[in-house]
Amino acid sequence: MGSANGLVSAQGKQPLFSFGAISDVQYADIPDGRSFLGVPRYYRHSILVLQRAVRKWNDHQKLKFAINLGDLVDGFCPKDQSLHAVKKVVGEFENFNGLIYHMIGNHCLYNLPRTELLPLLKIPSYDGRAFYDFSPSPEYRFVVLDGYDISAIGWPQDHPNTLDALKFLREKNPNSDKNSPVGLMDLERRFLMFNGAVGKEQMEWLDGILQDATKLNQKVVVCCHLPLDPGASSKEALLWNYDEVMDVIHRYNCVKVCLAGHDHKGGHSIDSYGVHHRVFEAALECPPDTDAFGYIDVYDDRLSLVGTDRMKSTDMIFNP
Ligand SMILES: Nc1ccn([C@@H]2O[C@H](COP(=O)(O)O)[C@@H](O)[C@H]2O)c(=O)n1
Ligand SMILES: O=P(O)(O)OC[C@H](O)CO
């Protein structure tokens, strides 16, 4: 486990670096509600969770950056308030004394098109795509995937990615409400409109990054709003082609941890190749005066998540 200030681990080693983490703030200036399954959602309180996270990250003083696993505003935000709400949440993140890396979630895309969203989130983009990588230290590479690359939400209606996604959903989900998993069996329950897929070009890009990281002897952390392992997530929350992405990842030995959001209850698994999957507990579902955020101490042999309150601390020790 990391120490209270993240400086020295139980093994007496200093982390290479540390970073803050939060997911699914899903802020909206609307009364509390519930998910489809009846789980309470606190749309106004979630921004207070974010404010407390930023305060704690700043107090820590040694965090190199912070990462937002997506869904910074909620789909129920009245559409005439979307821009204001996104700017308000981005503004709270920007009170952090360091770099923030955002990724997009389905709820962000319910509010704003990619053309407006990506510049606000400072996501480096070509052609509206929202995948990128960065290297906070020579030993590590972070890969941020765009899980809504092929998606029925967020692209213009006549965009080839929208058309591909709608065709895919017609083939995989016979329900008239494409967000309904009724009748879908087992892992097929992920074929829902609120999910998406990594497209061919992004897959090739990922392969190239992992080749390069292997050459440079870098360990890789893959981040995606949508979870990539059924052991860590509800079936309904998985990336449509999580299996294809994991096939690419498993061809290399450099990916040690995959981080995700979307499945609000959170989860942790270690897959059959020893890759850790940590899905973060949602800020949105924190009852008043409770929290869900954390920071991660990064070592050469592990990532140690030091969670606050509902975000469980997790030691992710790598396979040799
Ligand atoms: N088991 C489920 C989960 C969701 N839906 C549909 O998705 C919509 C969004 O779900 P939330 O959890 O964000 O409320 C919901 O309105 C349902 O249409 C579902 O059918 N079955
Ligand atoms: O964040 P939402 O509203 O898209 O909910 C996602 C579900 O929790 C996935 O099971």
Q: Which residue's C-alpha comes closest to atom 21 of ligand 1?
A: 180
**Closest C-alpha to ligand 2, atom 10:** 237
Phi-psi region of 122 (alpha: psi -120 to 50; beta: other; left: phi over 0): left
Nearest residue (CA) to ligand 1, atom 6:
179
- 274-294 per-position pLDDT tens digit: 999 999 999 999 999 999 999
Q: Which helix (H) or strand (E) holds 292?
A: strand 292-298
Q: Is 281 in the pocket of ligand 2 (CB under 6 A)?
A: no
Give me 226's structure tokens: 């949508």
**What is the torsional sign of CA 90, 314, 38, 190?**
positive
**10 Cα–ligand 1 center, Å:** 42
What pTM was estimated for this model as a whole? 0.97
**Location of structure tokens 């509902």:** 310
Query: For residues 4 and 21, what is the distance between their CA atoms, to the nearest angstrom?
Result: 16
pLDDT tens digits along 27-46: 999 999 999 999 999 999 99
Answer whether 181 contacts ligand 1 (Cβ < 6 A). yes
**Domains of the chain with CATH codes:** 17-317 (3.60.21.10)
Give me ligand 2 centre to Cα 218, in Å: 33
Q: How far, in Å, from the CA of 279 to the mean position of ligand 2?
A: 12
Q: Which ligand is nearest to the CA of 26?
A: 2
Q: What is the ipTM of this complex?
A: 0.96
Ligand nearest to the CA of 71: 2
pLDDT digit of tens for each residue in the chain (320 aa)? 344 444 455 568 999 999 999 999 999 999 999 999 999 999 999 999 999 999 999 999 999 999 999 999 999 999 999 999 999 999 999 999 999 999 999 999 999 999 999 999 999 888 999 999 999 999 999 999 999 999 999 999 999 999 999 999 999 999 999 999 999 999 999 999 999 999 999 999 999 999 999 999 999 999 999 999 999 999 999 999 999 999 999 999 999 999 999 999 999 999 999 999 999 999 999 999 999 999 999 999 999 999 999 999 999 999 97
Most ligand 1 atoms within 8 A of CB, residue of 32, 180, 184, 233 to mutate: 180
User: How close is the Cα of 154 to the center of ligand 2, in Å?
Assistant: 16
State residue 185's pLDDT score.
98
Give nearest CA residue, ligand 1 atom 16. Answer: 36
